[in-house]
Structure 1
Amino acid sequence: MKRAIVHMDLDTFFVSCERLNNSQLEGIPLIIGGGDRGVVASCSYEARRFGVRSAMPTSMALKLCPQAKVIKGDMERYSQLSHTVTEVIQEKSPITEKASIDEFYLDITGMDRFYGCYQWTNELAQRVLKETGLPISFALSVNKTVSKIGTGEGKPKGHLDIPEDQVRAFLNPLSIQKIPMVGDVTFQTLSRIGIRTIQTLSEMPAEVLQRMIGKNGVEIWKKANGIDNNPVEPYTERKSIATEHTFVQDTIDMAHLKSILCGMVEKLAFQLRSEEWLTSTVVVKIRYANFDTETKQCKIAYTSADHLLTQKVLGLFEVLYQRRMRLRLVGVRFSGLVRGTYQIDLFEDTQEMLSLYAAMDKMKSRYGFDAVMRCAGAALKPNMKDVILKRN
């Protein structure tokens, strides 16, 4: 049976959410992001015509498009609207995977026996628009890679159907930058030897490509040839991510306790960024030597940045730890998680902070978590493996 995989992507999601609240924002260049030292989280198509792009410093974006209106954004509202869209899609789709806050994969294989797959998907997109007011694009094809590329090509408000016998004709003329996994470094490497289109890449021996760019070479070659057997993973909402540390000997050493907490935050925040989560609730847990256990929590703006989370965790610990009795356990939990493309504080952090976190995370991913650590959290052993993941 031929697979039928749909990729759905909300058009300029943050911008569309703001325009739902204020119709006067329609048709004008719009930037969602931080202040002059912040970065662009999203921008309207009107702003993109001037060269404005996501992750660009806001100051640069305003030089390119000085007439643009800048809005700080409301991540909590965006999350709520994303949840509403998810419910609409999940109600109708047999298998749904939520890939990020604004994109979804659907496996509707076999539905053509009862209902045209394209017609069904088109009606679902219209229902999303009707019930939420948010425009959505989609592409229907034989796998996740082709459908995702198709959605990107069809935006905005694009509805594409790419049958199996048309996959190669669709992919061949496109730039290799359209392939998921092909970043700037890989693009520059391949461009230097004249490989700029997907067709040229697909005709290259997979073994040669692997020698050039490493272990991902074969996977990229498969995608260039329209081959992708990855399944659509059913979506379940993660509730929280947490870690605890039990001391060998009960302690009252404040410096040591705070160092442990800092290490916990760094470890959990790295995982949040690696999996593209943002947290809105911080919880600190302590257990005294007599086994009395207490917790305290607070709501925060959505983030996954170490420095912001560490500040909140240490503040909660100061308020919570009042009895000056020895502790046998401390713990940290981040809950109220939402998916997000951006990996640190979405609207406030500077370009320098973005670059710092990106560099640190790259080193951790390649060489291990202990490759680079903050001095404040060095008391936490890098090989600690007590992370607790909770799902519905």
Structure 2
Amino acid sequence: MKRVACVYVPHFVAEIERQRHETEMRPLLVAEGERVLGACARAAALGVVEGEPLSEALAHCPDACVIAAEPPRYQAAWAKLVELLGRHSPGVEAERWGLAYLDAAGLGRFYGDEEAWCEAVRQQAWQEVRVKVQVGIAKSKFVALVAARSSQFGPGYRAVSGDDRAYLASFPVEWLPLDREPLRRLGLLGIHTIGQFAALSSAAVAEQLGGDSAGECLYAHRLARGRDDRPVRARPQQMLEAHVEFSVPEVRLEPLVGALARASERLLRDLKRGNLAVRRVELEARFADGEAAIESTWVGDLLAPRRLGALLQDLLARLKGDGLGVMEAWLRLVGLEPWVGRQLDLFAHAAGRERLEGALRALAHKHSPACVVRACLVDPHTPLGQGHRFALREVCP
């Protein structure tokens, strides 16, 4: 059965900036030149429309906090969120910042039910990207979008299992993709809900709302009747994979890292030859009892052998093998894209780490190395699942 999920982040640009600047008291406007790129919910409620001149927006809310836009930052955050969604669905269509559609057919059974799937997506989006997403699931894209938009008044997600047309009937007609003039005409006709609009015949819609907007209005009329057969057009993620197998269960961390590092040499050569950056590193292991586990981590950068080795140590340490050895493992480099320079087009984790290291060195220089320490793995030979000990080491100025 076809099931489509919609992940919706209202006022996406403004929410990214609000998390950075923690501006809760005043309306927030994000300006790109003389136009409004993003507006928070409070500003929108006062009449601000994204894309309008900044001067008009300030006329609606003169006490707004205005922030200069940084589009690469928003693209980076959106890319990370889309990558995250790809861990929960085989198909993700990123329509625009703040709106994505996912193939959700059969996913509920892997999480218990569809509601549990929605909650997992919401929690991970908040933990990793610091955005509050709204999720809707239905038989079609438009109904899933309406469900996601309306979920703000509940737990943040909504799954529609009944008739699409019946579900849409009570929502305001303004939620349909109609321009101002058709909406004005519908208001004059006393049509205020999607159900009332759906009750009109196609001929009546063409007659009353025809002209230049006839095609748009007839399309919205089909949506109002629950007729939306648009598929999820997912962009396939490029991936490289390496596989290792052991004749006897391997419990030691160092041999596991070494075997995976050797198996990944070809992958790294391919990355270097194509000048490709990696979004995510994923590690899947099958243990001696037949059970399997998967761990992944975000990269968003070029990948060198030393860094891959460190990531492998971390991923293997996180695998829950209960002390059982690994029989085979798969290393996957997911989401390959041409490297275009350090422009945050994937995500600025590397730049953030560099700033952190610089700050730590500055603190150590200002005070003393003993005042600034970091946690380091003590024994990389500890068997998986038996816990790992860390030591505190001084940061050199």
TM-score (norm 2): 0.54
CA distance in 2, matches of 1:18, 1:205: 45
The aligned residue for residue 134 of structure 1 is 131
Whether 1:222 and 2:195 are equivalent positions in the alignment is no
Aligned to 1:14: 13
2:29 is the counterpart of 1:31? yes
What's the counterpart of residue 65 of structure 1? 61
In structure 1, the gaps of 5 or more residues are: 239-334, 340-392
Residue 29 of structure 1 aligns to which amino acid in structure 2? P
1:184-221 Cα deviation digits (max 9, x unpaired):
12212333333332111111112332344333444322
Aligned-residue RMSD, C-alpha: 2.8
Q: Any conservation in 1 of the 2:136–2:144 contact (CA below 8 Å)?
A: yes
CA distance in 2, matches of 1:189, 1:221: 14
Matched residues in 2 for 1:236 and 1:48: separation? 35
Describe the shift of the 1:164–1:64 C-alpha distance in structure 2 as closer, same or farther (beyond 3 A): same
Contact map agreement 1:33 1:72 (CA 8 A) in 2:
yes
Note the C-alpha offset of 1:235. 2.3
CA distance in 2, matches of 1:235, 1:222: 26
Q: 1:52 to 1:220 in 2, by over 3 A?
A: closer
C-alpha distance in structure 2 between counterparts of 1:27 and 1:99, whole Å: 31
Q: Which moved more, 1:8-17 or 1:139-148?
A: 8-17
Is the counterpart of residue 81 in structure 1 residue 77 in structure 2? yes
Q: CA deviation at 1:140?
A: 1.5
**Residue 162 of structure 1, CA deviation:** 4.1
In structure 1, distance between residues paired with 2:139 and 2:344: 29
Q: How does 1:113-132 map to 2 (within 5 A)?
A: 113-114=109-110, 115-132=112-129
1:233 aligned counterpart, secondary structure: coil
Q: CA deviation at 1:41?
A: 1.5
| 8 Å Cα contact 2:182-2:217 kept in structure 1 | no
> Which AA in structure 1 matches 2:167?
F
Question: Cα offset for 1:42?
Answer: 1.3
Give 1:112's aligned residue.
108
Aligned counterpart, 1:177: 174
In 2: Cα distance, 1:170 partner to 1:119 partner: 21
Report if the CA contact (8 A) 1:151-1:159 is conserved: yes
* Pair 1:142–1:34, CA change in 2 (3 A): same
Deviation at 1:7, TM superposition (A): 0.6
Q: What are the equivalent positions in structure 2 for 1:260-279 lying under 5 Å apart?
A: none
- Stretches of structure 2 that go unaligned for 5 or more consecutive residues are 239-339, 346-397
The answer to whether structure 1 residue 90 and structure 2 residue 86 are counterparts is yes
Mapped partners of 1:105, 1:151: distance in 2: 11
Equivalent residue in structure 2 for 1:149, among 124, 146, 169: 146
Q: Distance in 1 between matches of 2:15 and 2:217?
A: 37
Within a 5 Å distance, the mapping from 1:191-202 to structure 2 comes to 191-202=187-198
SS in structure 1 of the partner of residue 162 of structure 2: helix
Q: 1:27 to 1:236 in 2, by over 3 A?
A: farther
Q: Deviations over 1:160-204 (max 9, x none)?
A: 324242644432122222012x11122123333333321111111
Q: Runs of 4 or more off by more than 6 Å in structure 1?
A: 335-339
Q: 1:237 to 1:27 in 2, by over 3 A?
A: farther
C-alpha spacing 1:149/1:30, structure 2 compared with 1 (3 Å): same
Partner Cα separation in structure 1 for residue 221 and residue 92 of structure 2: 27
Per the alignment, residue 267 of structure 2 pairs with none
Aligned length: 238
Secondary structure of 2:78's aligned partner: helix
Match of 2:156 in 1: 159
Match of 2:235 in 1: 235
* Cα distance between partner residues in 2 of 1:15 and 1:106: 24
Judging changes above 3 Å, is the alpha-carbon distance between structure 1 residues 59 and 208 closer, same or farther for their aligned structure 2 residues?
A: same
> 1 CA distance for matches of 2:73 and 2:83?
16
- Give the 3-state SS of the residue equivalent to 2:233 in structure 1: coil
Using the TM superposition, name which of 228-237 and 138-147 deviates more: 228-237
Instruction: Among all aligned residue pairs of Structure 1 and Structure 2, give the percentage whose two residues are the same amino acid.
Output: 22
Distance change >3 Å, CA 169–CA 159, structure 1 → 2: farther
How big is the shift at 1:144?
A: 0.3
| Pairing partner for 1:48 from 34, 44, 67 | 44
Q: Is the 8 A contact 1:136 1:157 kept in 2?
A: no
- CA gap 1:116/1:18 in 2 versus in 1, 3 angstroms: same
Q: C-alpha distance in 2, partners of 1:177/1:72?
A: 30
Q: Could you tell me how far apart the structure 2 residues matched to 1:193 and 1:21 are?
A: 45
Q: Residues 121 and 160 from structure 1, CA distance in 2 versus in 1: closer, same or farther, beyond 3 angstroms?
A: closer
Change (3 A) 1:170 1:185: same
Q: In the superposition, relative to structure 1, how do residues 191 and 237 fare at CA in structure 2: closer, same or farther (>3 Å)?
A: farther
Q: Could you tell me the TM-score, scaled by structure 1's length? A: 0.55
Q: Do the aligned residues in 2 keep the contact of 1:30 with 1:69 (CA within 8 Å)?
A: yes
Quickly say closer, same or farther: Cα 1:190–1:4, change in 2 above 3 A.
same
- Cα deviation 1:38-97 (Å, max 9, x = unaligned): 222211123234332322321122222221110111001111111111111112212111
Offset of residue 109 of structure 1: 1.0
Residues 338, 226 of structure 1: alpha-carbon distance in 2 compared, 3 angstrom cutoff: farther
Cα deviation 1:264-315 (Å, max 9, x = unaligned): xxxxxxxxxxxxxxxxxxxxxxxxxxxxxxxxxxxxxxxxxxxxxxxxxxxx
Task: From the superposition, tell whether residues 139 and 27 of structure 1 become closer, same or farther in structure 2 (CA, over 3 Å).
Answer: farther
